[in-house]
Amino acid sequence: MTLEQQLLQNNPLHGLSLEKMITELVDHYGWEILDTAMRMNCFNTKPSIASSVKYLKKTEWAREKVEAFYLSRFKRMPRASAAEFELPPRMRTFAHGITPKTPMELTVESILLSQAKAASAHKERSNNGRNRRR
């Protein structure tokens, strides 16, 4: 087994089916929090495990977004390095000994606050970039 294969086995997504991942997320967070965090119709309009899995299998960007959420919020794994950020979440490696932590406690309010802060920071960076070009 190569080193990369060993590091991939340390990824919580290794061997995890989409159905099991969605089930774990829904059981812990519920549909409303998933919808607020990721804004996907499969979590909003008549959500079900089966319809979400079907959609995520067809839609790569959505699947990667859910997998990234699973790694960062549910398993609380370290942020991807700049080089690994370009890889799909299932292909990211984690050093031996790094273990998942307890899931992050989220509420609709905490997600909306976090999104507002991120939007404000983005706007600030955009404005600073415009001011430097003048």
Is residue 110 in a domain? no
Please report the pLDDT score of residue 95 as a whole number. Answer: 79
Is residue 10 in a domain? yes
Q: How far is Cα 41 from Cα 111, in angstroms, rounded to an integer?
A: 17
Tens digit of each residue's pLDDT (9 = 90 or more) over 38-47: 999 999 999 9
Is residue 24 in a domain? yes
Is residue 52 in a domain? yes
Is residue 111 in a domain? no
Is residue 119 in a domain? no
Please give the residue range of the domain that contains residue 74.
3-103
What is the model's pTM? 0.85
CATH number at residue 29: 1.10.720.30
Q: Structurally, how many domains does the chain consist of? A: 1
Please report the pLDDT score of residue 69 as a whole number. Answer: 96
Cα 41 to Cα 32, 51, 56, 58, 128, distances in angstroms? 11, 10, 11, 14, 34
Is residue 79 in a domain? yes
Please report the pLDDT score of residue 10 as a whole number. Answer: 80
Q: What is the DSSP string of the chain?
A: --HHHHHHHTSTTTT--HHHHHHHHHHHH-HHHHHHHH--GGGTSS--HHHHHHHHHH-HHHHHHHHHHIIIIIS-PPPPPHHHHTS-GGG----TT----PPPP--HHHHHHHHHHHHHHHHHHHHHHHHHH-
Is residue 38 in a domain? yes
Sign of the Cα pseudo-torsion (44, 50, 53, 54, in order): negative
User: What does each of the 134 residues of the chain score in pLDDT, given as a tens digit?
Assistant: 676 666 667 888 988 999 999 999 999 999 999 999 999 999 999 999 999 999 999 999 999 999 999 999 999 999 888 888 898 998 888 878 888 999 999 999 999 999 999 999 999 888 886 666 55
Please report the pLDDT score of residue 93 as a whole number. Answer: 83
Q: What angle do CA 31, 36, 79 make, to 5 degrees?
A: 100
